[in-house]
């Protein structure tokens, strides 16, 4: 998981961070309201996806180190071992990796649409990228529903995986919140509120 997550994170930088999206209407005509919203949110999605890939790499690295350094108690299967001792690490690695992957496909669709200049061709090319995104979600849904093969799983879809992970984070299974984790959650929530406020403002220059 570490290698693909690292590759995706590296590819995210030129796609979403290095250059702004071109104007759909360079002749000065106003953009559609949805196009403006997508343009404003593009950088936020790219940043979140990039950092999500980093978090996935850290989760996987720490879990591998723990498996190497510790002698786990016998378990019925690898699934049962992960559920018992590494539930947060396993869920976090997959949740953040999948969010980064799905966001990458979304960014490809957005970049294709704006680079082409919108219109029917832009919608068609972006639609190809979105179809791949939907197909990937379907593949993950099947995997999540299959679970361990003996009836144990996170749920029936990728939504179940994300809710399971966030439930572990909130309830802090395996220990209480530490200072850095509390700071991270607080800063994330504050930043999320700031981004939402910025997106709904008509003039970003008037941010306070």
Is the pLDDT reported for residue 27 higher than 70? Answer: no
Is the pLDDT reported for residue 115 higher than 70? Answer: yes
Q: CB 33: neighbour CB atoms within 10 A?
A: 8
CA 150 to chain centre: 29
Share of the chain above pLDDT 90, in %: 25
Q: Average pLDDT of 26-34?
A: 72
Residue position matching structure tokens 């966030």: 166
Q: Among residues 88, 76, 8, which one has the least CA distance to residue 46? A: 8
The pTM assigned to this predicted structure is: 0.80
How far apart CA 141 and CA 94 sit, in angstroms, is 13
Q: State both tokens at 14.
A: 């030129």
Q: State both tokens at 176.
A: 């209480």
* Cα Rg of the chain, angstroms: 20
CA 32 to chain centre: 26
Q: pLDDT averaged over the chain?
A: 82
The pLDDT tens digits for 156-179 are 889 999 999 988 888 776 566 678
The pLDDT tens digits for 61-113 are 998 888 888 887 887 778 778 888 888 888 999 999 999 999 999 999 999 99
Please give the C-alpha separations between residue 9 and each of 15, 52, 129, 184, 191, in angstroms, as whole numbers: 10, 8, 18, 20, 21
* Residue 199 banded pLDDT, cuts 50, 70, 90: confident
Q: State both tokens at 65.
A: 């180190």
- Left if phi > 0, otherwise alpha if psi is -120 to 50, otherwise beta: which for 174? left
For the ranges 8-17, 40-49, 198-207, the maximum mean pLDDT occurs at 40-49
* Residue 208 banded pLDDT, cuts 50, 70, 90: very low
Q: State both tokens at 130.
A: 């979105």
Is the pLDDT reported for residue 125 higher than 90? Answer: yes
How far apart CA 53 and CA 49 sit, in angstroms, is 6
Q: State both tokens at 89.
A: 């690490």
* Residue 207 banded pLDDT, cuts 50, 70, 90: very low
Question: Which alpha helices (H) appear in the chain, and where do they start and end?
Answer: 2-12, 33-69, 78-85, 87-116, 119-146, 158-171, 179-200
How far apart CA 49 and CA 165 sit, in angstroms, is 17
């Amino acid at each position: 998981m570490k290698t693909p997550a690292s590759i995706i994170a590296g590819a995210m930088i030129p796609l979403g961070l290095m250059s702004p999206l071109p104007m759909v209407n360079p002749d000065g005509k106003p953009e559609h309201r949805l196009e403006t919203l997508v343009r404003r949110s593009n950088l936020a999605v790219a940043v979140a996806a990039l950092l999500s890939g980093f978090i996935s790499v850290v989760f996987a690295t720490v879990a591998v180190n723990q498996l190497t350094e510790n002698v786990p108690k016998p378990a019925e299967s690898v699934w049962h071992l992960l559920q018992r001792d590494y539930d947060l690490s396993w869920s976090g690695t997959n949740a953040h990796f999948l969010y980064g992957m799905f966001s990458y496909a979304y960014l490809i669709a957005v970049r294709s649409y704006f680079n082409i200049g919108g219109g029917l061709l832009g919608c068609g090319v972006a639609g190809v990228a979105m179809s791949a995104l939907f197909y990937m979600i379907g593949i993950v849904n099947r995997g999540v529903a299959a679970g361990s093969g003996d009836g144990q799983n996170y749920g029936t879809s990728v939504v179940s995986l994300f809710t399971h992970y966030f439930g572990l984070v909130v309830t802090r299974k395996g220990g209480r919140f530490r200072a850095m984790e509390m700071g991270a959650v607080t800063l994330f929530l504050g930043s999320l509120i700031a981004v939402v406020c910025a997106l709904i403002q008509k003039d970003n220059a008037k941010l306070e």
